[in-house]
Amino acid sequence: MVRWAVEVSEFDVQYDPQGPIKGQVYADFVAELSPGSARQEEEASFKWVISVDGSSNQSGSGAGVILEGPNGLLIEQALRFAFKASNN
């Protein structure tokens, strides 16, 4: 965990490790994602989908983000990075 804190500190990003997952939280997570669960069907109308794609070349690098929300909500954003990045 300390390694990640050192790696990302170079980019002014703070890494906060998460504590252990409590058993009930894990059980709720598994139940929520199980196929055919009642809660999943209820929340289907509130489903959000995010799509991300990045690219880089000699001129720079960036990413495109599309966020699709309920009722046809669509948010698109293009980002250009001010640091060197790879497409790998």
DSSP string, 8-71: HHTTT-------PPPHHHHHHHHHHHSTT-HHHHHGGGG--EEEEEEEEETTEEEEEEEEE-GG
pLDDT tens per residue across span 18-77: 666 667 777 777 777 766 655 555 665 677 888 998 888 888 888 899 999 888 889 999
| Integer Rg of the chain from CA | 18
Q: Do 68 and 83 fall into the same domain?
A: yes
Separation CA 84–CA 40 (nearest Å)? 40
Q: Do 87 and 52 fall into the same domain?
A: yes
Q: Do 57 and 31 fall into the same domain?
A: no
Q: Do 36 and 51 fall into the same domain?
A: no
Q: Do 23 and 61 fall into the same domain?
A: no
The domain tally of the chain equals 2
Question: Which pTM value belongs to this model?
Answer: 0.45
Residue 32: which domain range? 1-44
Separation CA 68–CA 78 (nearest Å)? 15
pLDDT top residue among 7 and 39 = 7
User: Residue 76: its pLDDT value, please?
Assistant: 92
Q: Do 33 and 61 fall into the same domain?
A: no
pLDDT tens per residue across span 28-44: 777 777 666 555 556 65
Q: Do 31 and 62 fall into the same domain?
A: no
